[in-house]
Amino acid sequence: MGVNSNVLILKNVRLSFPTLGEPEYFGGAKTKPTDKRRWSATVLIPKDDPQRKLVDETIKFVATEKWKDKAASYLKTILTDPKASCFTDGERKEYEGYQGMMALSAHRNEDKGRPLVIDSDKSPIYQPNGELYEGKAGRIYSGCYVNIKVEFWAQQNTNGRGIRATLLVVQRNRDGDAFAGGVRPSDDDFEEVTEGAGADDMT
């Protein structure tokens, strides 16, 4: 059965460049009045992972819903432009861990409310004010593995056409080697947590 939804859950994917506590402006600073702060995360999916096909099919679904018979033509341009597509070949980046991967970047503007960020036992990691709950330091970091829920949408406005993903939920799955600048938790941080909780439990 083909994809018929623009919402997708990906399991056990590696987290990169997370901004999940305090929202930030793109590039770190406000450059024009319309700029909005946002939360964001990129996840890495092996090119041979079956979940890659799910992403491809979901992108085709939202493009067809938006552009009908012009979707295939528009996607040829969009998917080869890293600035227009949320799903890109990791080989285009010289970042650690991106080789052999596809990179999916998702964002959520501050005015939409913060995304849900939960531990593997479904307990929240961040308080409403963006600060960590007690005992949650190092639970989510660049290089760990997560389950993620995103909503894809097709953009067509004054900025042009594109395929974007809105960040809905991030759930810690398990530890991974921290990327440069990431923080790996100590064993004491997760004695009471059941590791590898399934993404099917995500709200």
Query: If you search the block for the tokens 């759930």, which residue do you land on?
Result: 171
Kindly state whether residue 140 falls inside one of the protein's structural domains.
Answer: yes
Domain housing 105: 7-21+36-194
Per-residue pLDDT at 190: 38
What number is the average pLDDT over the span 111-131?
95
User: What is the domain-level CATH number for residue 133?
Assistant: 2.40.50.140
DSSP 123: -
Q: 200 in a domain, yes or no?
A: no
Task: Assess if residue 199 is contained within a domain.
Answer: no
pLDDT at 159: 86
Residue 201 belongs to a domain: no
What DSSP state is assigned to residue 79?
A: T
Residue 32: pLDDT band with limits 50, 70, 90: confident
Alpha helices in 68-183 (DSSP H): 71-78
pLDDT of residue 33: 86
Cα–chain-centroid distance for residue 31? 24
pTM of the model: 0.86
pLDDT at res. 113 = 94
In contact, 187 and 136? CB cutoff 8 Å: no
Is residue 202 included in any domain, yes or no?
no
- Mean of pLDDT values over 130-151: 96
| The pLDDT of residue 181 | 54
Tell me how many domains the chain contains.
1
145-180 CB burial, b ≥16 within 10 A, e <16: bbbbbbbbbbeeeeeebbbbbbbbbbbbbebbebbe
Mean pLDDT across 1-20: 90
For 45-57, the pLDDT digits (tens) are: 999 999 999 999 9
122 assigned to some structural domain? yes
